[in-house]
Structure 1
Amino acid sequence: MFVLLFCARLASAATAYGANAPCAPVEIAPSATPAASRVKEYAPVFESCASASGSTRLAVRRMSVDGTPLILTVDPQSLHTSLERAACWRCEATSDTAQAATRYLQALHPQQDPTRPPALVNAGLIHGAGGGAFVTGDLCPSRKSLDRAFFEELAARGPRTPVMLAVSGGWLARHGADFAWLREKARSGALDIAWANHSYSHPYVRRLPDGRNFFLRPGVDVDREIFETEKLIIAHGETPSVFFRFPGLVADAALLENIRSRHLIALGADSWLALGLRPRPGSIVLVHPNGNEPIGIKLFLRLMQTGAMPLPLRPINEAP
């Protein structure tokens, strides 16, 4: 009887989220209800999880969405993330040391020259493995419309063209229609979008030096900047990836360690197009399709049309 009741509860939860199988990955239906009312008990964890079918994942967040307990999981080899029903997984606490042999932890803690401190600007992974290019777009807070022509050009390259979008909570709060349009591009198979975190408020003061700006400003609550954005992405129907891009690409060693403690991979770029940094094989390319940096978009379109962009365009999960 207990088993029957348990399965009935799972089936009910699956119906609420539009899934056919009780233990399939969860798809959250977007709603006008505020994220704070839907996504609750949000907490960072690091757990090794196994399902009844023998699948294994690492859980990095626990939460309740619309009253259903969920976990945000990472495949430790592919870096693919998914939202799963907590009731479908058996989890126990683990550590970075215990998972050190996985591709995920090796990407999280890359080998570095101990005599060279991390650069203040362009913190994190800035160049990917292999050839081609990794196209990334930052959606910083903006009052301007999404540059949809950029995405149409990407989609014209063929089905499921990959792009990583680093989303700020401030942008998402203002651009629900643009976000829904991007989701439809992904669901139609036109684009393969990885959703990265670009902080909630994207703190910035004009003319203030980098060393006292962005996340290095006094009083920045790093956990709030991370988790509020993740909760917004989830409430709008998408799954956060394992990547985080610092506002302005600015961070010191302490911030890098903070981000890693939340099991996020810091991502920079060696080809910020608007700064005149041309891409080469393996480049992580950065543009701003939020309307704030049209010159970068123009340069991207020119590089694509002239064949100067390294190809193929590759998913960001392949970069580390």
Structure 2
Amino acid sequence: MWACVAGVATARGEHSACAPVEITPGGPPTRERVRAYAPIFDLCAKEGESRLAIRRMNVDGTPLILTVDPQSLQTSLERAACWRCEETNDAAQAETRYLKALHPPQDPTRPPALVNAGLIHGAGDGAFVTGDLCPSRKPLDRAFFEELAAQGPRTPVMLAVSGGWIARHGADFAWLRDKARSGALDIAWANHSYSHPYVRRLPDGRNYFLRPGVDVDREIFETEKLIIAEGETPSVFFRFPGLVADAALLENVRSRHLVALGADSWLALGLRPRPGSIVLVHPNGNEPVGIRLFLRLMQTGVMPLPLRPINEAP
């Protein structure tokens, strides 16, 4: 019965074979709804449009692809049958904005960093507000999101969400979805791994994703599948747990066509934002000091404005 109900919801507007994909959250477990999930890299075309497809899957019986606009970086779930796709590679797409974001030029003045791996500062003025939702037993800090929504309709925010947080916080996730559906917020869903591996007091070089035995693909794909099963679309951004990664991990994530994202203004660490800053807070209840600092910066006019979508950062 659930498969039947979910399938109808997925095919909303079924008078058109290529109607927009709308996935209804809930129902049976994710593993039963999202099947045959695999990374790909295809160039796809439809009626004069072109996209890059980075995942294929079957959701509630419907073959879908996760596509990326190679210039805007906007992702969308599309019906596979509606696109003509052929395999491509990074070299063939090297001049697109998306591939330039994936493979930025190396800065010879900045040695490879173990901490704060990936893009840490955005282009232009304003600020890029990001929140990490690591696994937590505490409730969502809704005051943070209410302050964002008070800035005006569709205020952008990127949420780096862990699968473990979604699994425990269904009501909070639904509340965030409602904020996006109402137009109060424009939420980009980034991947923050599924389990967010961490052992207290272990040094960074042997912690987080650098712990032996971490299955990086599983951490990435299980989170993406859960985001999709909950009715949302994963973005192209990935934030490492603890912002910790080595060169091999960076390359691994890039091979899955995800843009690694750090931050140059982790507020709880006292890093003050400046124009173009990627601002980091944890609205999962675990870092109230960062939330208080964010609210103070907004209310005193110190936060660089405007607040901008993360897709504009690379």
**TM-score bracket, shorter-length normalisation:** over 0.9
User: What's the TM-score, normalizing by structure 1?
Assistant: 0.94
Question: Contact between 1:117 and 1:253, CA under 8 Å: does it hold in 2?
Answer: no
Report the counterpart of residue 210 of structure 2 in structure 1: 216
1:252 to 236, 246, 251: 246
2:26 to 31, 47, 54: 31
CA distance in structure 2 between the aligned counterparts of 1:150 and 1:55, rounded to whole angstroms:
38
C-alpha distance after superposition, 1:270-319 (max 9, x if no partner): 00000000000000000000000000000000000000000000000000
Write the letter of the residue equivalent to 1:129: A
C-alpha distance after superposition, 1:233-281 (max 9, x if no partner): 0000000000000000000000000000000000000000000000000
Question: Contact between 1:14 and 1:22, CA under 8 Å: does it hold in 2?
Answer: no
2:121 counterpart of 1:127: yes
Greater alpha carbon shift after TM alignment, 56-65 vs 27-36: 27-36
Once the two structures are TM-superposed, the CA of residue 25 in structure 1 deviates from its matched residue by: 3.2
Question: Contact between 1:17 and 1:29, CA under 8 Å: does it hold in 2?
Answer: no
Question: Contact between 2:12 and 2:19, CA under 8 Å: does it hold in 1?
Answer: no
CA distance in structure 2 between the aligned counterparts of 1:41 and 1:135, rounded to whole angstroms:
34
CA distance in structure 1 between the aligned counterparts of 2:8 and 2:54, rounded to whole angstroms:
22
Q: Could you say if the C-alpha distance between residues 223 and 306 of structure 1 is closer, same or farther in structure 2, counting changes exceeding 3 Å?
A: same
Write the letter of the residue equivalent to 2:30: A
Write the letter of the residue equivalent to 1:206: R
CA distance in structure 1 between the aligned counterparts of 2:141 and 2:28, rounded to whole angstroms:
27
Q: SS of the counterpart of 1:56?
A: strand
Q: SS of the counterpart of 1:91?
A: strand
Q: SS of the counterpart of 2:188?
A: strand
- Mapping of 1:114-263 within 5 angstroms? 117-263=111-257
CA distance in structure 1 between the aligned counterparts of 2:7 and 2:161, rounded to whole angstroms:
28
CA distance in structure 1 between the aligned counterparts of 2:263 and 2:131, rounded to whole angstroms:
11
Question: Contact between 1:13 and 1:22, CA under 8 Å: does it hold in 2?
Answer: no
2:81 counterpart of 1:87: yes
Question: Contact between 1:126 and 1:283, CA under 8 Å: does it hold in 2?
Answer: yes
CA distance in structure 2 between the aligned counterparts of 1:272 and 1:288, rounded to whole angstroms:
9
Q: SS of the counterpart of 2:136?
A: coil
Once the two structures are TM-superposed, the CA of residue 54 in structure 1 deviates from its matched residue by: 1.4
Write the letter of the residue equivalent to 1:157: Q
C-alpha distance after superposition, 1:79-122 (max 9, x if no partner): 00000000000000000000000000000000003685420000
Q: What percent identity do the matched residue pairs reach?
A: 85
Q: SS of the counterpart of 2:19?
A: coil
Report the counterpart of residue 3 of structure 1 in structure 2: none
- Mapping of 1:269-308 within 5 angstroms? 269-308=263-302
Q: SS of the counterpart of 2:280?
A: strand
Once the two structures are TM-superposed, the CA of residue 32 in structure 1 deviates from its matched residue by: 2.7
C-alpha distance after superposition, 1:125-168 (max 9, x if no partner): 00000000000000000000000010000000000000000000
Question: Contact between 1:19 and 1:27, CA under 8 Å: does it hold in 2?
Answer: no
Once the two structures are TM-superposed, the CA of residue 62 in structure 1 deviates from its matched residue by: 0.3
Q: How many residues align?
A: 308
Write the letter of the residue equivalent to 1:253: A
Q: Could you say if the C-alpha distance between residues 16 and 232 of structure 1 is closer, same or farther in structure 2, counting changes exceeding 3 Å?
A: closer
CA distance in structure 1 between the aligned counterparts of 2:45 and 2:8, rounded to whole angstroms:
19
Write the letter of the residue equivalent to 2:194: Y
CA distance in structure 2 between the aligned counterparts of 1:93 and 1:154, rounded to whole angstroms:
40
Report the counterpart of residue 105 of structure 2 in structure 1: 111
- Mapping of 1:4-23 within 5 angstroms? 16-19=10-13, 21-23=16-18
C-alpha distance after superposition, 1:180-237 (max 9, x if no partner): 0000000000000000000000000000000000000000000000000000000000
Q: SS of the counterpart of 2:129?
A: strand
Question: Contact between 1:270 and 1:277, CA under 8 Å: does it hold in 2?
Answer: yes
Report the counterpart of residue 45 of structure 2 in structure 1: 50
Write the letter of the residue equivalent to 1:257: E
Q: Could you say if the C-alpha distance between residues 296 and 15 of structure 1 is closer, same or farther in structure 2, counting changes exceeding 3 Å?
A: closer
